[in-house]
Structure 1
Amino acid sequence: MSLPAFLKTLLRASAPTALALGLAAPALSAPAHKTTPATTPALDAAARAVRAELKSVGAARFTAPDYKLGVVRHMVMFTFRPGTTAAQRAEVTRRFVALTTLSRRADGKTVVTSIETGAQNSGENSDLGLEQGYLVTFQSEGDRNFYVGRPIVTEAGHFDPAHDAFKTFAGPYLAKVVVFDFTPTAPAAL
């Protein structure tokens, strides 16, 4: 399965950004793959709502650290391309987890509270071929919005260059990417 069109757009970040952050590709070669012309996927209701919110409040407010305070979980799951080696998979995960300290605002403040990762090990036969999962935690929607960045937030200075560089690095190794964000709610009283 090819990368979703939105990820293809994300993978167009500049090489100088990656080099400046020390995220240039290691001596591991990326698997060869063909790209096909991307079509813009239809936006789901959540994506439409987020983009409307950005348009309403502006990029500076939308990505501010105090914008909609409260824990936000960002679940990311990957399926690697066939031929991706164990070393390449490990490097993708190492660089993803490094975003805990590399993802910073211009003032040096970190954006990510924590990143947890693990290989799929459920026996329920409902993994859809996904192989590696990551759970990223933020303290506000503004921090999450800054971290996610492109293709949602494209205004310079209002998205995380470290995460953007990671997407450029990881893209050639990935066959499928699933992202699901949520704000945890307290369980209802029994």
Structure 2
Amino acid sequence: MDKPLLRHVVLLKFKDESSPEDIQKVEEAFIALKDKISLIKDFEWGTNNSPEGLNKGLTHCFFVTFESEKDRDDYLPHPAHKEFVDLLLPHLDDVTVVDYWAK
């Protein structure tokens, strides 16, 4: 059996006053983390398109995969991640983060 992987799911809601260009800069900065932080084993993202209307304003999903909790814990204070968070915060209205071991 393959080694289980740790999934780090980040759901974002942007401020109403954030422009599409601002949001695109945040998207690009998050996407760039996969090339800046070798601890990231896989990465995918997308925007909500559910017809159910249950997203509570959360529009973006980022799905980051790690091999261990240590890798995730080292990622969080990583300078590239901190730089991303600094770019995100002025545009962030709400965030939900869920981490789980894939089964």
TM-score normalised according to structure 1 size: 0.51
Q: Relative CO higher for 1 or 2, CA cutoff 8 Å, sep ≥ 6? A: 2
Are 1:181 and 2:88 an aligned pair? no
- After the TM superposition, which residues 5-154 of structure 1 pair with which residues of structure 2 at under 5 Å, given as runs? 70-103=4-37, 110-148=38-76
In the other structure, the counterpart of 1:162 is 80
In the other structure, the counterpart of 1:24 is none
- Report the CA distance between 1:171 and its aligned residue: 0.4
CA-to-partner distance for each residue in 1:8-46, whole Å, 9 max, x for gaps?
Answer: xxxxxxxxxxxxxxxxxxxxxxxxxxxxxxxxxxxxxxx
TM-score normalised according to structure 2 size: 0.92
- Report the CA distance between 1:139 and its aligned residue: 1.2
Q: Which has the larger radius of gyration?
A: 1
In the other structure, the counterpart of 2:89 is 171
Q: Give the 3-state SS of the residue equivalent to 2:5 in structure 1.
A: strand
Identity value in percent:
32
State the 4+ residue runs in structure 1 displaced beyond 2 angstroms.
Answer: none
Alignment root-mean-square deviation, CA: 1.2
Aligned CA distance change for structure 1 residues 70 and 145 (closer, same or farther; 3 Å): farther
Q: Give the 3-state SS of the residue equivalent to 2:84 in structure 1.
A: helix
| Contact 1:70 1:141 (8 Å CA) reproduced | no
| Separation (CA, whole Å) in 2 of partners of 1:70 and 1:140 | 9
Any stretches of 5+ residues in structure 1 without a counterpart?
Answer: 1-68, 104-109, 149-158, 186-190
